[in-house]
Amino acid sequence: MEIDGIKYKSGSEICKELGVSRKKFDLVRLKLAYHPAFATAAGESLVKKVGRFIYFNEKQTAVFSAILAPGNVEEQKNAENEPSDGKQRNDEVAQPLESDAPEPAGMPPQKPRDLPISDNPPESGKQKLARFVLEFMSSMGWTSINKPAESCIDLVLAKADLRCAVTVNEKEEDVTWEVIDELVLEAKKLGCSASSFVTNGYFSDEAKNLAQIKGCSLIDSNILHEWQVIVNGKF
C-alpha cells in the first residue's frame, strides 16, 4: 500500500516474500524495537499504524530482508547448531539425576536434604516486574545504572549515548496522564534522553495523547506478553 507517497508493506507480505514464519518475523520485529529505522532516539515508534494493523516502510523492510533473507549467515549458524531430525545430539544426552542413581549396596537410604531458608523477604509485584523489564532490556543491549532513591523512576537504562528512565506499575488498571507527566519531568531532571512507562494494565486515552506529545514510550500488558514470549524462547 502507499501512504503520502511512501510505499508500505504488511508483516504478512514481508513473511511471504522472505518465506519465513510469522512467529520468527514477530520475534525479529520486537528485537528491532529500538533500531534507528524503527524508533527515534527518544523511543518514539516510526512504524506506521492504520487501525489495528502495522505497516513497514521500505527502509524497515530492507532491515527485515537483511536479517531474515535465505542464506543469512546468522540463520545458517543457528541451523547448523540445531539437529535436523529433532533428536538429541550424542553430546547432549541427558544424564540421570542424582536422585535417580541406585544406592550403593549396604548403604542406608539418604534422607532428603533440607532446603535453605532465605532471610530475604519475598519480592513484591512491582519488584518482579522491574526485574523482568531489566532482564528483557539487558537482552537488547541496555545496562542498568544508578537511580535516585527518592524518585518515581524505577530503572535508569543506558545504551551507547542514550539514557532511558523507566517507571513500572504492577497494577492492572488504566494509567492516567498525571503519572506520565511526572515520569517525563523526572527523566529530564536525570538528564535522560528517553522515558518509558511499563504497566501490567493499560493506559487512558489522555495518557496516550500526552505520551505521544512528550515522546514517552508506553508498554502495556499486550506488549509485556510479547516480551515474555521472547524471554522464554517460545517461538
For the record, the C-alpha cell of 232 comes out as 522464554
> For the segment 138-167, what is each residue's pLDDT rounded down to a tens digit?
888 899 988 777 788 999 999 988 899 999
What does the mean pLDDT of the chain come to? Answer: 76
Does 68 share its domain with 129? Answer: no
Does 52 share its domain with 134? Answer: no
| pLDDT tier at 103, thresholds 50, 70, 90 | very low
Of 228, 207, 128, the closest CA to residue 196 belongs to 207
The verdict on residue 97 lying in a domain is no
The verdict on residue 11 lying in a domain is yes
Provide the percentage of residues in the chain whose pLDDT is more than 90. Answer: 24
Over range 165-172, report the average pLDDT.
Answer: 89
| pLDDT tier at 230, thresholds 50, 70, 90 | confident
| pLDDT tier at 94, thresholds 50, 70, 90 | very low
| pLDDT tier at 217, thresholds 50, 70, 90 | very high
Q: List the strands of the sheet with 6-10, edge to edge.
A: 2-3, 6-10, 53-57, 48-50
**Structural domain count, the chain:** 2
The verdict on residue 116 lying in a domain is no
Does 129 share its domain with 217? Answer: yes
Whose cell is 506529545? That residue is 213
The verdict on residue 197 lying in a domain is yes
CATH number of the CATH domain containing 42: 1.10.1660
- Between 137 and 110, residue with greater pLDDT: 137
Over range 191-217, report the average pLDDT.
Answer: 92
Does 72 share its domain with 129? Answer: no
- Between 166 and 82, residue with greater pLDDT: 166
Question: Which of 52, 79, 106 marks a domain boundary?
Answer: 79
The verdict on residue 168 lying in a domain is yes
> For the segment 29-58, what is each residue's pLDDT rounded down to a tens digit?
777 776 777 777 556 677 787 776 788 888
Does 131 share its domain with 75? Answer: no
Residue 104 pLDDT > 60: no
The verdict on residue 102 lying in a domain is no
Does 137 share its domain with 40? Answer: no
Does 133 share its domain with 225? Answer: yes
Does 54 share its domain with 132? Answer: no
pLDDT at 80: 38
For residues 198 and 228, the answer to whether their CB atoms sit within 8 Å is: no
The span from the CA of 49 to the CA of 190, in Å, is: 32
Does 137 share its domain with 59? Answer: no
Range of the domain at 172: 125-232
Does 138 share its domain with 211? Answer: yes
Of 41, 36, 50, the closest CA to residue 215 belongs to 41
Does 139 share its domain with 54? Answer: no
Beta strand pairing call for 216-219 and 194-199 = parallel
Does 143 share its domain with 217? Answer: yes
The verdict on residue 93 lying in a domain is no
CATH number of the CATH domain containing 162: 3.40.1350.10
The verdict on residue 96 lying in a domain is no
Answer yes or no: pTM beyond 0.75.
Answer: no
